Amino acid sequence: MPASPPLPPKEPVEKALPRRFTDLLRNGRFTFTERELMEHLRMTYRTIKQREADPSTLTIAELLRVAELLDEPIDKVVAVVIAEVQNKG
């Protein structure tokens, strides 16, 4: 009996979105020191902590810098923030 044809390769499954903004910032594929985050995001340590605690206060410019820093599409970053804000509400 002839061998069955090989199955097509599985398409990569996109990883689930992080549940929180802080997860996106801290547990992504890159790790940054506090100083690196401060420099790249142009925020103080205190501001970063405030944005992690309440991502609804992030500005468009800050979201764009986060997406650039993490090399992620802006829509993914915004989706994480919107989901977190809706879940807190």
Domain boundaries, the chain: 21-88
Q: Give pLDDT, residue 16.
A: 65
Indicate whether 52 pLDDT > 80. Answer: yes
Its pTM surpasses 0.85:
no
Indicate whether 18 pLDDT > 80. Answer: no
How far apart CA 72 and CA 3 sit, in angstroms, is: 43
Q: Give pLDDT, residue 29.
A: 82
Burial code (b: 16+ CB inside 10 Å, e: under 16) for 35-56 equals eebbeebebeeeebeebbeebe
Q: Name which of 69, 87, 60 is nearest 25 in CA terms.
A: 69
According to the CATH classification, is domain 21-88 in 2.60.40?
Answer: no
